[in-house]
């Protein structure tokens, strides 16, 4: 009897290991299939309102999935770096939620989707009383101004340290992108001044814009981004370094804002298709979070008219459909 039980235990263990291996194989194959399916797509174009972004190689295309156990699945170019741009907004929001709590964000920034482009001044006027959200530029600048620190340098160190913890390595600013962006950010400066007029910015307006511009110029690759997304997926614990970065509570308030506004005026369409919180950046990065399971990242610079990576949307949609990752899908 003992021998039979031992055999059954070993058999069950072997079946379990095989099942896990097959699941990992399926994920890797799906990522590779997504890459092959969309690598030749020619739609979209690089952002050109920031001159340095127009110079980025438009052929860069990498897909990485990191699960909450730290396993990595990838295809394409996973190591070419782009500037993080607006993807940084999700992680700075998490930082402020961790430091100050959700009431501060709700009352001082807002959590409503605007339905307007990411740099819309009209959205600020229309939503003056109800607030906007941390995924559009004005709300992101206000959120950055709320980061703890008495000086700009202290706030910047808090941001770069936290985003580095999310990525699992020290992130650095792409100085060429920062200089280029700082020279073309008159609209962000104008929005910060409007926030000041509305009493909706909580540090020096010009310095807040500069800190925000620096955070957008942090240099990342697809592996960094997938690790950052996977840290959100695992409730704030980095699955690669096993470091607690933010609390599950902070994540629980970050993901809904990403879901409702992460792809700007196309956020509703994205949520309808995938059911996943996501965040795009005009540098060509796109991340999506499957809570409790995966972080998915794509780097592909050509954008649609809303400023979202064309290949990124196609690839993540494909992966979500093939692996049945939509959390609203109940079978």
Question: pLDDT tens digit string along 131-155?
Answer: 578 998 889 999 999 999 999 999 9
Q: What is the pLDDT of residue 199?
A: 86
Tell me: pLDDT of 38 over 60.
Answer: yes
Question: pLDDT tens digit string along 189-246?
Answer: 888 888 888 888 999 999 999 999 999 999 999 999 999 999 999 999 999 999 999 9
Q: Map residue 166 onto helix, strand or coil.
A: helix
Q: Is 185 annotated as a binding residue?
A: no
Tell me: pLDDT of 7 over 60.
Answer: no
How many residues are there in the chain? 331
Q: Which residues pair with 256 in a beta bridge?
A: none
**DSSP assignment letter at 265:** G
Tell me: pLDDT of 42 over 90.
Answer: yes
Q: Are strands 219-220 and 278-280 parallel, antiparallel or unpaired?
A: unpaired
CA angle centred on 236, ends 217 and 227, rounded to 5°: 50
The residue ranking higher by pLDDT, 34 or 112, is: 34
Alpha helices in 217-266 (DSSP H): 222-233, 248-261
Q: 103: burial class by Cβ within 10 Å (0-12, 13-18, 19+)?
A: exposed
Q: Residue range 17-42: average pLDDT?
A: 83
Q: Is 272 annotated as a binding residue?
A: no
Q: Residue range 291-306: average pLDDT?
A: 97
Q: Which among 94, 90, 87, 71 is positioned nearest to 23, based on CA atoms? A: 71
Q: Which among 20, 87, 76, 72 is positioned nearest to 240, based on CA atoms? A: 72
Instruction: Tell whether pTM > 0.85.
Output: yes
Q: Is 119 annotated as a binding residue?
A: no
The residue ranking higher by pLDDT, 14 or 300, is: 300
Percent of the chain residues topping a pLDDT of 90: 77
Q: What is the pLDDT of residue 127?
A: 53
Q: What share of the chain is helix, strand, coil (3-state, %, to 5)?
A: 55, 10, 35
Q: What is the pLDDT of residue 153?
A: 98
Q: What is the pLDDT of residue 132?
A: 77
Tell me: pLDDT of 12 over 70.
Answer: no
The residue ranking higher by pLDDT, 113 or 144, is: 144
- Could you give the domains of the chain? 33-323 (3.40.710.10)
Q: Map residue 267 onto helix, strand or coil.
A: helix
Q: Is 282 annotated as a binding residue?
A: yes
Could you tell me the strand order of the sheet in which 285-290 lies?
72-76, 62-67, 294-299, 285-290, 278-280
Q: At what angle do helices 152-167 and 222-233 cross, to 10 degrees?
A: 90
Instruction: Give the HSE-up count for residue 8: Cα atoms under 13 Å, Cβ half-sphere.
Output: 5
How far apart CA 111 and CA 298 sit, in angstroms, is: 26
Q: Is 35 annotated as a binding residue?
A: no
Which range (31-45, 193-207, 243-257) has the least confidence? Answer: 193-207
Phi, psi of 134 (to 5 degrees): -80, 0
């Amino acid at each position: 009897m003992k021998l039979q039980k031992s055999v059954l235990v070993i058999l069950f263990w072997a079946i379990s290991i095989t099942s896990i291996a097959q699941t990992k194989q399926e994920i890797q194959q799906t990522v590779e299939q997504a890459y092959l399916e969309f690598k030749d797509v020619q739609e979209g174009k690089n952002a050109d309102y920031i001159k340095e972004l127009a110079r980025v190689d438009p052929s860069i295309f990498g897909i990485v999935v990191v699960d909450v156990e730290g396993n990595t699945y990838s295809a394409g170019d996973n190591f070419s770096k782009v500037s993080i741009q607006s993807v940084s907004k999700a992680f700075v929001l998490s930082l402020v939620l961790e430091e100050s709590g959700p009431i501060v964000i709700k009352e001082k920034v807002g959590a409503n989707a605007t339905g307007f482009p990411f740099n819309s001044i009209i959205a600020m006027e229309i939503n003056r009383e109800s607030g906007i959200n941390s995924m559009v530029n004005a709300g992101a600048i206000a959120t950055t101004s709320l980061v703890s620190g008495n000086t700009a340098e202290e706030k910047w160190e808090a941001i770069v340290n936290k985003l580095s913890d999310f990525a699992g390595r020290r992130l650095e600013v792409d100085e060429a992108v920062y200089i280029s962006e700082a020279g073309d950010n008159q609209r962000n400066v104008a929005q910060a001044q409007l926030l000041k007029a509305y009493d909706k910015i909580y540090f020096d307006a010009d310095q807040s814009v500069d800190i925000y511009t620096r955070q957008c110029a942090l240099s990342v690759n697809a592996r960094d981004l997938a690790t950052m997304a996977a840290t959100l997926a695992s409730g704030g614990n980095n699955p690669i370094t096993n470091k607690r970065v933010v609390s599950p509570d902070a994540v629980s308030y970050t993901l809904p804002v990403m879901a409702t506004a992460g792809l700007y005026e196309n956020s509703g369409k994205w949520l309808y298709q995938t059911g996943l919180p996501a965040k795009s950046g005009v540098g060509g990065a796109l991340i999506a979070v499957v809570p409790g399971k995966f972080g998915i990242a794509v780097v592909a610079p050509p954008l649609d008219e809303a400023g979202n990576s064309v290949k990124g949307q196609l690839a993540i949609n494909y992966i979500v459909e093939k692996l049945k990752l939509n959390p609203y899908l109940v079978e």
